[in-house]
Amino acid sequence: MAAFEIAKGIYSVGAVDWNGRDFHGYSTLAGTTYNAFLIVDEKIALVDTVKSGFTDQLLANIAQVVDPKKIDLVISNHTEMDHSGGLPRVMHYIGEDKPLYLSKMGLKNHSLHFRQKWNYQVVENGQELSLGKRTVQFLETRMLHWPDSMFSYLKEDKILFSSDAFGQHYAGPERFDDEIGDAIFPHAKKYFANILLLYTEKIKKLIDTVTQMGLEFKMICPDHGIIWRKDPGAIISAYAKWSDHPADNKAVVVYDSMWHSTQSMAEKIAEGLAAEGVVAKPMHLRASDRSEVMTEVLDAGAVIVGSPTLNNNVFPTVMDFLVYMKGLKPKNKIGAAFGSYGWSGESVKDIHDTLESMKFAMPEPGLKIQYVPDEDGLAACVEFGRKIAKALKAGQ
């Protein structure tokens, strides 16, 4: 993607990763972008860089606007390597003595990533930097989603460079929300569910702070995906809604199965849920990636997890999913466990205990069936689904 002007004198100069599919274990079916921004004022500022393999694209894009050597300063909103990997080459090219603005925790994280003696300028929360006609205000956003994270707000233009917040792993021909419309929201939701869900209290506080400060946003420029310019309020409202851990009339039945017994149970449980009016989606963990399942969990009222017993344990993919979901700390969920077994049958109890440890409400004891479920067993699964649906509706 070539450089493009997002507002007078302000350019998007980042790179598109059309083929990216695995982003540190998060599966993106739609690639991603590494956004970086160039502000051309009396001083020329570069906001963030790109993943290291994309630095040529970044430098070429900058060169379409100005000679990169004319960059006066760099702002690093976040040290994670998809935004900082290009820094060593960029700093080398533009001059290692050029000031590099970052948060206090950014300084610490930079030293642990780069071990360079760059001209670091640590900024405090609220500190301003004049570029000439424009002023950048820095807003610390610790743990959204790293300790070093910060936003940079261009006061006169009312443009927020929001680092990873409000981003989406999406590569497409569109550059702005008005070009893609509502089709961008599933990507933004997936990003939130998999990267930000565990920080919802901080997100709520940040939205309150920004509202109290009376900051207006004409444009929100995240470091991944499209830029929000038509209605930046829409993504802020979505974040506020998702931060409340919605428990919609919807259940995720997530499972793995070696010989289809747990699978038949999952499908019958979904049938029982649907019979009570709860939208239910059975998801096999070798057909759906954990990040897709987590996106469904975000606004589901119930999460029902199934596994056969394998060598006295939960099946590995189910364990993988449980560990992943536990780390993301979803709240307000009803949980339930089920599975087929042969002789010892530990998996159901193990899953039940894990969900309970996550503070899920557990209205039903786990449902275990030995080997292949018969008609009665399948009917018990439908009933199990119905009971969970009733518990979900009773709590709403």
Ligand X SMILES: Cc1cc2nc3c(=O)[nH]c(=O)nc-3n(C[C@H](O)[C@H](O)[C@H](O)COP(=O)(O)O)c2cc1C
| 320 classed as catalytic | no
> Rounded CA gap, 4 and 57, in Å?
13
Q: Is 311 in the site for ligand X (CB under 6 A)?
A: yes
Q: Is 349 in the site for ligand X (CB under 6 A)?
A: no
For residue 264, the minimal CB distance to ligand X (Å) is 8
Reading the block at residue 206, the tokens are: 């940040």
> Rounded CA gap, 326 and 111, in Å?
31
Residue nearer to ligand X on the CB measure, 220 or 314? 314
| 191 classed as catalytic | yes
Reading the block at residue 269, the tokens are: 């449980």
Per annotation, catalytic residue among 80, 177, 267, 292: 80
Per annotation, catalytic residue among 48, 78, 101, 157: 78
> Rounded CA gap, 148 and 140, in Å?
8
Q: Which member of 259, 277, 379, 395 binds ligand X (CB under 6 A)?
A: 259
Reading the block at residue 101, the tokens are: 């603005």
Per annotation, catalytic residue among 24, 124, 182, 376: 24
Per annotation, catalytic residue among 17, 48, 164, 289: 164
Per annotation, catalytic residue among 224, 239, 255, 276: 224
| 24 classed as catalytic | yes
Binding mask 314-343 for ligand X (x = CB under 6 A): --------------------------xxxx
Residue nearer to ligand X on the CB measure, 39 or 348? 348
| 224 classed as catalytic | yes
For residue 259, the minimal CB distance to ligand X (Å) is 3
Q: Is 260 in the site for ligand X (CB under 6 A)?
A: yes
CB 149 within 8 A of CB 60: no
CB 308 within 8 A of CB 263: no
For residue 332, the minimal CB distance to ligand X (Å) is 29
Residue nearer to ligand X on the CB measure, 261 or 295? 261
Q: Is 262 in the site for ligand X (CB under 6 A)?
A: yes
| 169 classed as catalytic | no
For residue 311, the minimal CB distance to ligand X (Å) is 5
| 341 classed as catalytic | no
Q: Of the candidates 320, 211, 299, which has an alpha carbon nearest to the alpha carbon of residue 256? A: 320
> What's the DSSP call for residue 123?
-
Query: Judged by CB under 6 A, which stretch of 40-48, 304-312, 322-330, 354-362 contacts ligand X?
Result: 304-312
Query: Judged by CB under 6 A, which stretch of 74-82, 122-130, 163-171, 306-314 contacts ligand X?
Result: 306-314
| SS (HEC) of 18-63 | CCCCEECCEECCCCEEECCEEEECCCEEEECCCCHHHHHHHHHHHH
Q: How many residues in the shown chain lie near ligand X by CB under 6 A?
A: 18
Reading the block at residue 263, the tokens are: 């699978």
| 82 classed as catalytic | yes
Q: Of the candidates 266, 394, 250, 261, which has an alpha carbon nearest to the alpha carbon of residue 337? A: 266
Q: Is 310 in the site for ligand X (CB under 6 A)?
A: yes
Query: Judged by CB under 6 A, which stretch of 52-60, 232-240, 257-265, 279-287 contacts ligand X?
Result: 257-265
Rounded to whole angstroms, what are the CA distances from 23 to 26, 63, 221, 228, 379?
A: 5, 28, 20, 22, 41
For residue 284, the minimal CB distance to ligand X (Å) is 10
* Mode of pairing for the β-strands spanning 4-7 and 37-40: unpaired
Beta bridge partners of 314: 309
Q: Is 19 in the site for ligand X (CB under 6 A)?
A: no
Q: Is 371 in the site for ligand X (CB under 6 A)?
A: yes
> Rounded CA gap, 382 and 254, in Å?
16
For residue 344, the minimal CB distance to ligand X (Å) is 4
Which ranges in 214-257 belong to alpha helices (H)? 232-243
Which ranges in the chain belong to alpha helices (H)? 55-65, 81-84, 87-94, 104-113, 177-180, 185-191, 200-213, 232-243, 261-275, 290-298, 316-328, 347-357, 375-394
Sign of CA dihedral 360, 361, 366, 372: negative
Residue with tokens 């930046």: 232
Query: Judged by CB under 6 A, which stretch of 48-56, 58-66, 134-142, 302-310 contacts ligand X?
Result: 302-310
Q: Which residues are catalytic?
A: 24, 78, 80, 82, 145, 164, 191, 224
Binding site for ligand X (CB under 6 A): 257-262, 308-312, 340-345, 371
